[in-house]
């Protein structure tokens, strides 16, 4: 069995479609129920849905042989996995955002609210800028509105959340998209199958 961790939600449905068109279908996954894992014994596949930010943990520890994770998660947690293919879906960007009129005052430490502390720290240390990270788990946009932080480092997709909260992108740090990742030992053990999957999936990637 090849164990495949997919991110639950809209991105996962899109990615599943790509796997199916690449010949890795699993009819059981379309049945209406609350199951979290689905098998196609004939093809030797087992899919399971996990929280998007958990995919890389399953793959790194070998509970999944392969999976699909956002580049944001790979940059933030640096899991020890192989990154095999950019699927070019789930596209967004990691940005610094804040009030439209915000001007950085280099004389003081910048307060940055984020779910992505490592990405933010690396970015600002590359600029030589001292920052104070305020780690939050969601609704990051509230932080500068309430004066908890000066700016945020967060994902921007359509820009609607920022706009509706009177915030704007101040700087783009890095573009993000979904990546096919593999457990390092599984990649050796299932090399032929995984390489065939990568080739077939690559045909489904829209550029
Ligand atoms: C992300 C991100 C922004 C929003 C951006 O949040 O943190 O809040 O999406 O999308 P937009 O540019 O299309 O408006 P998510 O929906 O993942 O929820 P979260 O607040 O729990 O992180």
* Tens place of pLDDT per residue across the chain (207 aa): 999 999 999 999 999 999 999 999 999 999 888 889 999 999 999 999 999 999 999 999 999 999 999 999 999 999 999 999 999 999 999 999 999 999 999 999 999 999 999 999 999 999 999 999 999 999 999 999 999 999 999 999 999 999 999 999 999 999 999 999 999 999 999 999 999 999 999 999 998
**pTM higher than 0.85, yes or no?**
yes
Residues 114, 120 contacting (CB under 8 angstroms)? yes
The SS3 of residue 108 is: coil
Task: Report whether residue 53 contacts ligand 1, using a CB cutoff of 6 Å.
Answer: no
Q: Atom 21 (ligand 1): residue with closest C-alpha?
A: 138
What stretches of the chain show up as alpha helix (H) in DSSP?
Answer: 10-21, 55-60, 71-77, 117-127, 142-145, 160-164, 184-189, 191-204
d(CA 123, CA 88) in angstroms, rounded, equals 23
Task: Report whether residue 99 contacts ligand 1, using a CB cutoff of 6 Å.
Answer: no
Give distance in angstroms: CA of 199 to centre of ligand 1. Answer: 32
């Amino acid at each position: 069995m090849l164990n495949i961790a997919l991110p639950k939600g809209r991105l996962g449905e899109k990615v599943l479609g790509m796997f199916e068109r690449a010949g890795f279908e699993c009819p059981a996954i379309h049945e209406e129920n609350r199951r979290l894992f689905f098998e196609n014994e004939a093809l030797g596949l087992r899919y399971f849905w996990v929280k998007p930010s958990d995919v890389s943990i399953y793959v790194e520890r070998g509970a999944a042989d392969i999976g699909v994770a956002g580049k944001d998660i790979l940059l933030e947690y640096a899991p020890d996995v192989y990154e095999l293919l950019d699927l070019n879906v789930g596209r967004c960007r990691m940005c610094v955002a804040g009030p439209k009129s915000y001007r950085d005052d280099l004389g003081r430490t910048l307060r940055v609210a984020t779910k992505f502390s490592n990405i933010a720290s690396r970015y600002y240390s590359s600029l030589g800028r001292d920052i104070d990270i305020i780690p939050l788990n969601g609704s990051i946009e509230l932080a500068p509105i309430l004066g908890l932080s000066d700016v945020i480092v967060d994902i921007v997709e359509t820009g609607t959340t920022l706009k509706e909260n009177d915030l704007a992108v101040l700087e783009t740090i890095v573009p993000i998209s979904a990546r096919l990742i593999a457990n390092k030992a599984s990649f050796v053990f299932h090399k032929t199958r995984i390489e065939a999957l990568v080739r077939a999936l690559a045909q489904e990637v829209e550029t």
